[in-house]
Amino acid sequence: MFASGGVQPQPNPMPTSAEHKIRVNSGEYPARDGLLHTRVYSQKERTRRAALAWLGFWLLAALSIPIVVAHLILIPAFLIAGPVVAYRRLKMREAAEKATGFCPVHDGEFTMELEAGDTLPIWQPCPECHAPLHLVDALVDNTRSEKP
């Protein structure tokens, strides 16, 4: 309790959302603008996610003990995967959610779901016309959109 009689407000445990400007390229078509929607995790959230992943994998290792045939492979795999996944979650400050924008090929709006670990630049097919789209950060020189 504080002198004012109130209770200290707790920070929001949910990750915050962020948007980043991107450029959408596709070969000889002119580049278009778009947005990358991400979740931003605080240090506390990242630590919590890492601890839960680590504990979850070690719980799976413990539950694998009675499985006679598979426990020789499952237990070491889960014991190794726990700290590896926890480390990756601890280092992940931002997770991609989706990209929105206008496709340069069919000139229509698109929304594509992305994996949490996806990073720019990335090639993805347009969800509408299936043309290959190169999504790049708008702040980076993106004059080249050739496939590697």
Q: What is the pLDDT of residues 87-143, one digit of tens each?
A: 999 998 888 888 888 888 888 888 888 888 888 888 888 888 888 888 888 887 545
Q: Which residues contact 106 (CB under 8 A, 6 or more apart)?
A: 126, 128, 129, 131
User: Residue 70: its pLDDT value, please?
Assistant: 84
Nearest-angstrom CA–CA distance, 25 and 102: 10
Average pLDDT over residues 35-53: 91
User: Residue 143: its pLDDT value, please?
Assistant: 53
Question: What's the whole-number average pLDDT of the chain?
Answer: 82
User: Residue 136: its pLDDT value, please?
Assistant: 87
